[in-house]
Every structure is written in C-alpha cells, then in structure tokens.
Structure 1
Amino acid sequence: MEFVMPILEGAWRYVLTLRISDYLDIALMAYAIYWLLKLVGTSKVESVGKVILLFLLALMLSDAFSLNGIYFLLSHILSLGALALIVLFQPEIRRLIDQLGSSRWRSFNPFARTQQVSAIENAIAQTVLACTEMSKTRTGVLIVFEREMALDDIARTGTIVDARVSSELLKNIFFVKAAMHDGAVIMRDGRLLAGGCMLPLSKNVNLSRDLGMRHRAGIGMSENSDAVVVIVSEETGTISVAIGGLLKRHLMPETLEKLLINELVPQEPTEQDDKLHMKLLKLLSAGKGDKDDEK
C-alpha cells in the first residue's frame, strides 16, 4: 500500500495539470485507435498484417547478415508498400470515409427529438404488424432502417415516397404485383423515405446456400452501413434481421419488436450517466483552476 499510494498521488497530480485541449487530444487518439482496431479485426487485414511482419523481419535479418542484394530489393519494395496497401484496402478505406462523411447531424431540440422518437416507435410498430401479416402470406420484404450513416445514394436508386409509415402502405409496396415490390424500402427518422431501392449484395462467400438474393442484399446493406435491415423470406415466410453483416433468423414478432426498439429508439440517459457526466465536468473544472493558479 505504501508503494501504491505515491504512484496514485503522482498520477492524480498529473491528471489535474491536464487542460481541456489535452482531454480532446486523448479522445481523438482513442477514436482513431478504435477505428484502426476495428479495421484490423477483419480477416483480410489480419492476413496481410502477418505478411508485413514477415517482410519486416526479413528486411532486418538481411541487414544484420549483410545480405546486400536481398536488402536492396526489400528496401525498394518497402518504398512502394504504402501505395500497395492503399490499392489493396481501397474498399475498406472508402467504406470508412463514407461512414465518416455521411454521418447525419441529429437535432438537439427536445421537442423535435420527442417527435422523432414517437415517429420511430410508430414505424417499428407498423413494420412488425406488416411483417407479421406478410410472413403468413409468404410475401418477400426488405426494409432498411437508416441510422447514423445517411443512405441518400441508396434512396436515389428507387422512388422517393417520404410518407408516414403504416402497415397498409408497406403491404401495398411489397404486394407481388406492385411496381416496387422487388426493391427495398428505406426508413429515415420514422418516415418511409423511398421504395424500390437497389441494395449492394454481400461479398461474404461463407453465407449459407439456402439464402436467396433478398437475404444477401440485406446482409450486404448491413455490411456497408450501420443500418438495421428487416427481411421476410418469400420462400419460407421467416422473419430475419441483418445488423453489421450478421443475420438473425427465425424471429418471432415479439422478438423483432424488441430488437428494433433496442437498435433504433434513442435511449434516455440514466441517473448513473448523469453522475459520471457531473464528475467529468468537476474534474475538468478542477484541472482548469489549477492551471489558472499556476499562471
């Protein structure tokens, strides 16, 4: 304990010397590291990372053992490595830029936020009702709920509707003889933005062979955005949801409703969150006060 206390006291004194800009700097670095780890989590990046480590090891060994010819070749190849990585990971880099560039600003107006939550809850209820009925008739359904990443490019591939969501409207759109029944519906902030939209197909080669094009399009949409995609199979009538490239199948209406509420309805801050926020403000104020005293 005598050994630990001086360390904790020193760490606390250091924290008090930090300015608001320091906290911002730490937050930005943490965010960048988060995205880097998220990118490294893919199998493609993992395999390439192993090759890069072996390449660097070979470069170090060739230098250590004076293998001048091999070192000359590897060092020149290394100079082109950055360009090769950009070309190799072009889809991942483009997806990351799209996610950062197309994030939508949310309204801070409490009244508008309440209206938005009410519209989303209505859209969820009407979607569950429509999917339950269309599941019984084995009508194919593909509904995309937009979240932070804007889907304007996807919406432009279909027909702009911009209407209040109702189960009757959804059933009319996905009616087998309707003009837009083969495409997807895009939901934004509790309203039906567009119908008959084309979605990107999944590039995952490990998907089950019994999944049709509708499921592959839904999974592909969830791989390329943060959207929540609801799918009803035309062959079996089963209800599924795709999130983050993963497919949750054979959902009951009650499970579907709970899942959509958890994923789409903004959660109110808890009392514990408020306390943590107040502690952070006090810490920042204390740090700023110490700085002012030093000056």
Structure 2
Amino acid sequence: MIAAATEFNKIIAYLSEYLGIKTVWDVFRIIIDITVVAYCIYLLLRFMKDTRAFQLLKGVFIILLIAFLANLLQLSTISYVVTAFLQVSPVLLVVMFQPDIRRFIENLGTQTLRELFSPRKKTESREINAMLDEVVAACTLMSEERIGALIVFERQISLGEIIRTGTIVDAGVSTQMIRLMFEPNTPLHDGAMIIKNNRIHAAACYLPLSDSLTISKDLGTRHRAGIGVTENIDCVSVIVSEETGNISIAVDGKLKRKYTADVLKRDLLRLLVTDPEDSGKGKINKLLGRKGREQ
C-alpha cells in the first residue's frame, strides 16, 4: 500500500514538473488552455461535418495510420512515399479547400462571443414568416406555370460580391413582385434574385456554377448555379425548374428536390430562423434529409 502511494506521488510530481505546475493558478491556466483548444476543435469539427473537408480528414487519418504501420513494420518504400505525401499535404489542403477555410473564418468573424459560447433561443420572426409566405406562394405559382426561378437568401455571410453582379431592386417581397421579375423575356428574368433582410435586394445576379461531378445530368445551369453559390457562401437558394416545375432547395452544396408548398415553407423557416447550434452542417443536412429526394 505504501509502495503504491509512493509511486502515485512520483507520478504526480513528474506531471507537476512536466506541466510546470507550481501554484493553484498554474492548474487553472492548464484547464483554461485545454478547454479553449478542445472548444476550437469542436467548432472546427461541427463546421466540417458532412462536408468534403470532413471526408478528406478521415482520409488523412487513414494515411497517418498507414504511415505508423509502415514505420512499425519497417516497410521502407511505403514509409518513404507516405512521408513525402504528408510533407506536401498542408499546401494541397489549403489549395483544395480554400472556400471551406474561408467560410469557416467568416462564420467565426460574424458570430459574437455570446453566440460562440452560448446558443441563442430560437425566435420565429413575424417578418420572416410573412416574407416566406409570399416566396412560397410565388414559387408554387411559377411551378404550376413552368417558369424558371432562382432565389438566394442571405444569412450571416454577406452576398455583396454576388449583389454587385446584378441590379439593385430594394423592394418589398410579394408574390406578384417575384412572379413579375421572373417573367420570361424580361430584363430581370435571367440570373438570381437576392433576398436580404426580408426584402428583394437585387435581381439578375450571376452566381458561380458548381463543378461537382455528383450533380444529376438532367439538371441545368440554373440548378448548378443554385448549388454553386451555397458551396462558397453560407446562404440558401431555392430553384424552380422551368422544364419540370419541381421546386428544390440547395444549401451547403447539397440539393433536395420535389418540395411541396408546406414542406418548402417549413424547411426554409428552419434554415433561416435558427440558433447557431442548429446552423451546423450536420443539423442542416438532417433537416433537409427528411423531405425531398437526393439529386
């Protein structure tokens, strides 16, 4: 018993010396240090969940495991190849996932300390509710009339770069106004409508096209644009197909199709009126996974 206590004291003394613990403040300093690092890792993983970057991260762990086993078993050729790859991988990661890295930093920049460390309560804004009623009614009408439409909702990240490519409108949201702007062969028909602060802020805006190879071949430029803008910016887009009349939602580079009016209103409300915790990618993907079909 005495020997065990002695060994335990030696371990405590070793850890105290290794961590530089001399006072009570040193203990609090280490706890704060570990807590901050752990929370930053949590934020990063929450942001990356169900994204291309998260899939790549799992691949990196597999490569690290291969490198460990190669060194353990003294497989020199495999070890050399894996080590060479790992040396250039940081540069490759930055180049390949620059949009994801930029969006993560932008999300941190737009959240207050209160939002980062304590989730807000959900608030269902009357203005957003009324605005979505008009949008859903317009989308349903255009779906029946086979009129193509692309509507993008700004969230926390500004769509300033996208807005500059179009025409400033600054009008209230109404079914008639949306229907009129997407009337074929009119100046504002082509491009996307931007809704910002519950108002039609701009129209005829150009969006970046998605280059994803997983997009169905029966989807045209309008759908690729709706998906593409959500790959690069934290926003939500609604697409009405001119050919089929199907209504779709794109968010975080993922597309869900064949929405009914009720489900469209419900999902848009949850995507646009939510707390920071629910705005994570995993929450959004689960939400959109309930209804609609995969692309």
Q: Is 1:170 aligned with 2:182?
A: no
Deviations 1:35-67 (A, max 9, x none): 1464375333333442343234434544xx8x6
Corresponding residue of 2:219: 211
CA distance in structure 2 between the aligned counterparts of 1:174 and 1:21, rounded to whole angstroms: 59
| Letter of the structure 1 residue corresponding to residue 260 of structure 2 | M
Secondary structure in structure 2 of the residue aligned to 1:261: helix
What code does the residue aligned with 1:172 have? Answer: L
Name 2:137's counterpart in structure 1. 129
CA contact (8 A) 2:210 2:224 kept: yes
Identity of aligned residues (%): 39
Once the two structures are superposed, what CA deviation does each residue of 1:69-89 show, in whole Å capped at 9, x if it has no partner?
997887677555534443444
RMSD (Å), alpha carbons:
3.6
The 1:189/1:20 distance shift into structure 2, 3 A limit, reads farther
Which residue identity lines up with residue 243 of structure 1 in the other structure?
V
Q: Which runs of 5+ in 1 are unaligned?
A: 1-17, 109-115, 268-295
> What is the alpha-carbon distance in structure 2 between the residues aligned to residue 262 and residue 74 of structure 1?
44
Among 181, 188, 194, the alignment partner of 2:189 is 181
1:250 aligns with 2:262: no
Following superposition of structure 1 onto structure 2, how do residues 188-227 of structure 1 map, counting pairs within 5 Å?
Answer: 188-227=196-235
Shift of 1:98: 3.9
**Mapping of 1:1-295 within 5 angstroms?**
26=35, 29-36=38-45, 38-39=47-48, 41=50, 42=52, 43-59=55-71, 61-62=73-74, 79-101=87-109, 103=110, 117-266=125-274
Question: Take 2:29 and 2:168, find their aligned partners in 1: how far apart are those partners?
Answer: 45
Structure 2 CA distance, aligned partners of 1:72 and 1:216?
A: 41
* d(CA) in 1 for partners of 2:175, 2:196: 16
Q: List per-residue Cα deviations over 1:135-186 (Å, max 9, x = no partner).
A: 1111111111111222111111211222211112211211111112111111
Does the aligned pair in 2 maintain the 1:159–1:195 contact within 8 Å? Answer: yes
CA contact (8 A) 2:67 2:79 kept: no
Does the CA-based 8 Å contact 2:247-2:258 persist in structure 1? yes
Q: Which amino acid is 1:251 matched to?
A: Y
TM-score by length of 1: 0.67
- Asked whether the 8 Å contact 1:163–1:191 carries over to 2, the reply is yes
Instruction: Determine the C-alpha separation between the residues in 1 that align with 2:46 and 2:72.
Output: 26
Shift of 1:34: 3.3
Aligned length: 239
Please give the alpha-carbon distance, in whole angstroms, between the structure 1 residues aligned to 2:268 and 2:83.
52
CA contact (8 A) 1:104 1:150 kept: no
Query: Which residue of structure 1 aligns with residue 14 of structure 2?
Result: none
| TM superposition score normalised by structure 2 | 0.67
Aligned partners of 2:191 and 2:206 also within 8 Å: yes
**Take 1:32 and 1:170, find their aligned partners in 2: how far apart are those partners?**
42
Give the residue type in structure 2 aligned to 1:30.
Answer: Y
**Following the alignment from structure 2 to structure 1, what is the Cα–Cα distance between the partners of residues 81 and 256?**
49
